[in-house]
């Protein structure tokens, strides 16, 4: 199996999607069972891949036995298997949670909904696994088309927001494809490893420079990096709660993976950086995004919209780490991909619980009755919020700490000030919710809903909250064993 290591996660998601029409005919909850089983199986394959690559090194698989650069290559290396684990864990937690929200929001089309979710996850797994620039685009479009369906499944307002995302996403994908065309014109290859070897020989030519700029700009749209973030707040706010909880923690992180892959494996070296300043631009835009997203989150009255603007700020941390380009900066960026995926998944799962239980997501309506009626969800929200602020020993503190170390190492005092200021702004908009939840009014007696699905709603968010604490306490092991090999290279 180890020689086929890049395949199982990809095939599991797409294979489970193929069973959805049949599952929909068997029982109304059969699609949920298939989706959960597929995500758990994919998680097992991803964890096996992570441990195998950590112990034995990367695995490359040639599709159809056509060797690269002429054939399509799939790669299982430290970065790709790390991302597959993040993808599978968040997918499993969200899909386990999704049964009751999906029955409430898209009751007539559960098979179609879960098929779209699994196709999107398969597309993301393909992006992470491919070693080919054009097939990355193919998987990017597969994932995007499915995500548009998921985000637009909540009525006219969500459809309009998803259509806006479709327009901007198509522009971003087109930019990426144009860049790939320029690279192919100059190098005659689409294999990432082969293109890198050719660039190291021919140097920075005009087509390579133009291609690099187009590719980074295109992925920046998918990444929701300021000023390409306009699609994100409306898409996340208007989408079904189950869709937001699935897309928000994963979608932008896969785009971050592509940016890291481009910077580390395709356009490394000082010749390209000195001419194009790609890392410098990413770092500056990341810092601006951190401040802009944090400031815009403060006045929001809708919890989902507040979390959406918070996501704009959080992807800025990742861009800042990539922009630093140092070991500490890249460790902080990769660690924040994991941390933010867990944090934002937990927060959106709690917002989904509020909507499912009829409490709503209007912040002004929150009070202490939330804590009494939904104690597990409230506690999970508190842990994730503290992690977003960056308080130790939660996971969020440590990724910010590595970013601070990288900024200090490079003498980037503006980045240091930005990270500290953003943490203070995060405290402003999260503490106002925690204050209402734990110190606010609400004298009516507790009215906890004892439904059969209550555990499915509360447990995934609680598990992610516990995971944030475990990631905090175990961050040294995580960095030394799994993240440092990513940034140190072969």
Q: Which spans in 357-453 are helix H?
A: 369-373, 375-389, 395-409, 413-439
Q: Where are the domains of the chain?
A: 289-490
460: phi > 0 → left, psi -120 to 50 → alpha, else beta; which? alpha
* Chain mean position to CA 319: 13
> pTM of this prediction?
0.92
Contact 462, 333 (CB under 8 A): no
The mean pLDDT of the chain is: 87
Is the pLDDT confidence value at 107 over 70?
Answer: no
Output b/e per residue, 187-221; b: 16+ Cβ within 10 A: bebbbbbbbbebbeeeebeebbbbbbbbbbbbbbb
Phi, psi for residue 270 in degrees, rounded to 5: -80, -20
Confidence of residue 489 (pLDDT cuts 50, 70, 90): low
State the CB neighbour count (10 A cutoff) for residue 117: 31
Q: Which residues of 430-443 are buried (b: 16+ CB within 10 A; e: fewer)?
A: beebbebbeebebe
Q: What is the pLDDT of residue 446?
A: 46
Distances (CA, A) of 165 to 137, 149, 173, 462, 471: 17, 11, 12, 31, 33
- Rounded to an integer, the average pLDDT of 99-125 is 86
Going by C-alpha positions, the residue among 33, 17, 217, 226 that lies closest to residue 126 is: 17
* Mean pLDDT calculated for residue range 344-351: 92
**Model confidence pLDDT, tens digit, residues 366-377:** 888 888 888 898
The stretch 250-256 carries a mean pLDDT of: 91
Q: Choose among 185, 187, 82: nearest CA to 125.
A: 82
Q: Which two tokens mark 296?
A: 């815009």
Range with lowest mean pLDDT among 224-238, 434-448, 453-467: 434-448
More confident residue, 406 or 29: 406
**Are 101 and 241 contacting, i.e. CB atoms less than 8 angstroms apart?**
yes
Quick check: 452 pLDDT over 90? Answer: no
Do residues 280 and 411 lie in contact, with contact meaning Cβ atoms separated by under 8 Å? no
175 and 217 Cβ atoms separated by less than 8 Å: yes
- Write down the pLDDT at residue 444: 52
**Predicted pLDDT at 205:** 84
Mean pLDDT confidence for 114-124: 94
Averaged pLDDT for residues 167-176: 93
* Three-state secondary structure call for residue 249: helix
DSSP tag of 68: T
Q: Residue 451: what pLDDT?
A: 46
């Amino acid at each position: 199996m180890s020689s086929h290591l890049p395949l199982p996660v990809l095939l599991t998601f797409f294979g489970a999607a193929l069973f959805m029409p049949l599952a929909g005919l068997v029982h109304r909850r059969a699609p949920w069972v298939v989706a959960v089983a597929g995500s758990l199986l994919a998680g097992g394959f991803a964890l096996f891949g992570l441990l195998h690559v950590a112990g034995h090194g990367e695995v490359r698989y040639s599709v159809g036995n056509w060797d690269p650069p002429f054939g399509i290559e799939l790669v299982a290396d430290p970065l790709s298997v790390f991302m597959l684990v993040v993808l599978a864990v968040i997918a499993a937690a969200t899909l386990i949670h999704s049964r009751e929200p999906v029955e409430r929001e898209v009751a007539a089309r559960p098979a179609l909904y879960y098929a779209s979710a699994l196709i999107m996850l398969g597309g993301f797994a393909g992006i992470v696994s491919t070693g080919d620039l054009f097939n990355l685009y193919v998987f990017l479009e597969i994932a995007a088309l499915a995500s548009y369906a998921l985000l637009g499944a909540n009525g006219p307002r969500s459809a309009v927001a998803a259509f806006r995302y479709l327009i901007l996403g198509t522009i971003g994908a087109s930019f990426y494809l144009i860049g790939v065309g320029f690279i192919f014109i100059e190098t005659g290859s689409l294999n990432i490893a082969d293109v890198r070897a050719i660039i190291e020989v021919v140097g920075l030519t005009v087509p390579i420079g133009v291609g690099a700029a187009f590719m980074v700009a295109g992925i920046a749209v998918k990444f929701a990096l300021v000023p390409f973030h306009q699609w994100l707040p409306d898409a996340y706010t208007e989408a079904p709660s189950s869709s937001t909880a699935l897309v928000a923690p994963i979608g932008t992180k896969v785009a971050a993976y592509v940016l890291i892959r481009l910077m580390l494996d395709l356009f490394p070296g000082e010749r390209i950086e000195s001419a194009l300043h790609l890392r410098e631009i990413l770092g500056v835009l990341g810092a601006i995004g951190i401040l802009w997203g944090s400031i815009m989150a403060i006045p929001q009255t809708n919890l989902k919209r507040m979390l959406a603007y918070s996501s704009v700020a959080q992807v800025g941390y990742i861009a800042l780490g990539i922009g630093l380009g140092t070991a500490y900066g890249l460790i902080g960026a990769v660690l924040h991909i994991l941390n933010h995926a867990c944090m934002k998944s937990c927060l959106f799962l709690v917002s989904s619980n509020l909507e499912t239980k009829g409490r709503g997501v209007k912040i002004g309506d929150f009070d202490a009755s939330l804590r009494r009626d939904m104690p597990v969800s409230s506690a999970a929200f508190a842990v994730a919020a503290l992690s977003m602020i960056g308080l130790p020993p939660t996971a969020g503190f440590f990724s910010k700490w590595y970013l601070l170390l990288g900024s200090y190492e490079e003498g980037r005092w503006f980045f240091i000030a930005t990270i500290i200021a953003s943490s203070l702004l995060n405290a402003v908009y999260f503490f106002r919710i925690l204050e209402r939840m734990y110190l606010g009014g609400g004298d009516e007696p507790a009215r906890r809903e004892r439904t059969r699905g209550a555990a499915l709603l509360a447990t995934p968010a609680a598990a992610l909250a516990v995971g944030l604490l475990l990631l905090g306490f175990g961050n040294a092991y995580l960095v030394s064993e799994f993240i440092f090999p990513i940034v140190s290279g072969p």
